[in-house]
Amino acid sequence: MSAAAAGHKGLRLLITGGGTGGHLFPAVATAEYLLQSGPGSHVLFIGTTRRLDRDTLERYGFTVKTIHSHGFKGKNLAELVKALLVLPVSLLESCVHILAFKPDVVMGVGGYVTGPVIAAAWLLRRPTIVHEQNSVPGLANRKLGKLVDRVCLSLPQSEAYFPSARAVLTGNPVRNSIIELGGQEPHSHGRRTLAVLGGSQGAHAVNQLVVDAVRQHVERFSEMAIIHQTGPDDEAMVKQAYEELGIDHRVAAFFNDMAEIYRLADMLVSRAGATTLAEIAVVGKPAILIPYPYAADGHQTKNSIWYTDSGAAVMFEQHDIDGRRLGEEILAIAFDEQRYHRMARAMKSLAITDAAGRIVAICRELSEQKHHVS
């Protein structure tokens, strides 16, 4: 039954966070679900002044407010002093936005901007939740987990970092276009297509590894097509390499329509960001994961374990893999029908397709509890 059919009243949801697509896209998916689930709901985003945050959210048509905010983790002394000095301003600006918007619930999705906004919501006695995408939570969510009413988890491994009474496994919300794709029959185009994803900014090491893999096994890769998201710095280099090697390719710094990329791809080589992994699970495609080696607390490597232990993916640490070995593994999955379909089924079994609905249900529950107490 849809939320509208169930007679839900509108909900005013304030979402804060950003800094990466991995934070923003689950927030967008949750907001879209809320607005489509019944009339009268409203969403406001509070983020940083980063262009990635603003452009992404405005592209989806959301209202965005910004506050002055700086991160703490990994900063030098001068940057820490600056972050501390601006914190009272961040709290005051957050309070102003909260009092103006009058949210029923305030939700944080990670990133340093989450801290002051959730703290302001707590001071103003608004119901609060945070959503943790990764197996190892970031600094902001780890601290806020002791403060908020609920912590929504994407992966079971992160439960150990939060109070058990507040933590609930919801999964990681995925955008509607990808959810819809997951329910369709796989695209059939007569030959395997490999998609290479390095995250929203690309991944130079992954780009080099894949190009070298193709160069080392060019005859076999000539039987495949490659879709490669390079990031802005390597686009020309990767495109030239594929042209010289005679590989059927589609190369771009960034793809806006990820549903189309997932539709065309049969398998992926990817970093191991939590949101990308959730999307790959929904579409049910085998993956070779090369975690970003400098991710905070090694969280990309730990994200991968949930998928490799289930037989859905193969993981290589970046320093342990070269082009020849990567190429062998890509080809072994692509051209072994039994292994390919076994991994695809395993990946699909890990999908949580109603994550956004679960989170919105928690928001409604907290709002109703607040109004009941009031």
pLDDT at 5 over 50: no
Residue closest to 368 by CA, chosen among 103, 152, 106, 104 = 104
Instruction: Name 47's bridge partners.
Output: 66
pLDDT at 141: 83
Of 134-143, 198-207, 337-346, 349-358, minimum mean pLDDT range: 198-207
Residues 109 and 17: beta-carbon distance below 8 Å = yes
Task: Check for a shared fold between 12-174+353-373 and 178-349.
Answer: yes
The full length of the chain comes to 374
In 3-state terms, the chain is what percent helix, strand and coil (to 5)? 50, 15, 35
E-state strands within 198-308:
225-229, 248-252, 267-270, 287-289
Sign of the dihedral defined by the CA atoms of residues 92, 94, 97, 99, in that order: negative
Predicted model pTM: 0.86
The DSSP bridge pattern shows strands 42-47 and 12-16 to be parallel
Q: Select the CATH number that applies to the domain covering 178-349 from these four: 3.20.20.150, 1.20.120.330, 2.60.40.10, 3.40.50.2000.
A: 3.40.50.2000
Sign of the dihedral defined by the CA atoms of residues 354, 358, 363, 364, in that order: positive
What's the CA gap between 23 and 199, in Å, rounded?
A: 12
Residues 67 and 92: beta-carbon distance below 8 Å = no
Domain residue ranges of the chain, discontinuous segments joined by +: 12-174+353-373, 178-349
Phi and psi at 268, nearest 5°, equal -135, 145
| 195-199 mean pLDDT | 88
Q: In which band, very low, low, confident or very high, does the pLDDT at 203 lie, cut at 50, 70 and 90?
A: confident
Is 12-174+353-373 a CATH 1.10.3210.10 domain? no
Residue 224 host element (H or E): none
Write out pLDDT tens, residues 47-81: 877 776 777 787 888 999 988 876 666 666 776 67
What's the CA gap between 175 and 177, in Å, rounded?
A: 6
Write out pLDDT tens, residues 111-138: 888 999 999 999 999 999 999 998 988 7
pLDDT at 202: 61
Name the percent of the chain lying above pLDDT 70: 90
The strand order across the sheet containing 225-229 reads 248-252, 225-229, 193-197, 267-270, 287-289, 313-315
Write out pLDDT tens, residues 318-342: 999 999 999 999 999 999 999 999 9
Q: In which band, very low, low, confident or very high, does the pLDDT at 201 lie, cut at 50, 70 and 90?
A: low
